[in-house]
Structure 1
Amino acid sequence: MTRIEVSTYTALIYVGGPLADAMVTARGYCDAVGLCVTVEPVSFIYTGGTTDGVRVGLINYGRFPSEPDAIFAHAERLAVMLIDDLGQESASIVATDRTVWLSNRPAKPASTNTEGA
Structure 2
Amino acid sequence: MTESQVKTFTAQIYMAGDINQAKMICRKYCYDVGLCVTVEPIDFIYTGGEEAGFRVGLINYPRFPSEPSDILSRAIDLARTLRDELSQHSFSVVTPTETIWDTRRDSTR
Structure 2 counterpart of 1:38: 38
Counterpart amino acid of residue 91 in structure 1? F
Counterpart amino acid of residue 107 in structure 2? A
1:23-76 Cα shifts (integer Å, max 9, x gaps): 011111100100000000000000010000000000000000000000000000
The DSSP-based 3-state class of the residue aligned with 1:29 is helix
Query: Where does 1:33-72 land on structure 2 (aligned, <5 Å)?
Result: 33-72=33-72
Give structure 1 stretches of 5+ with no counterpart. 109-117
TM-score by length of 2: 0.96
Counterpart amino acid of residue 73 in structure 1? S
1:74-115 Cα shifts (integer Å, max 9, x gaps): 00000001111111100000012211001001125xxxxxxx
Structure 1 counterpart of 2:7: 7
The DSSP-based 3-state class of the residue aligned with 1:31 is helix
Give structure 2 stretches of 5+ with no counterpart. none
Structure 2 counterpart of 1:112: none
Give percent identity, aligned residues only: 52
- Quote the Cα distance in structure 1 between the aligned partners of 2:77 and 2:57: 13
What value does the CA root-mean-square deviation take over the aligned residues? 0.8
The Cα shift of 1:2 comes to: 0.8
Q: Give structure 1 regions of 4+ aligned residues with deviation exceeding 6 angstroms.
A: none
- Quote the Cα distance in structure 2 between the aligned partners of 1:53 and 1:67: 28
Number of residues of Structure 1 aligned to a counterpart in Structure 2: 108
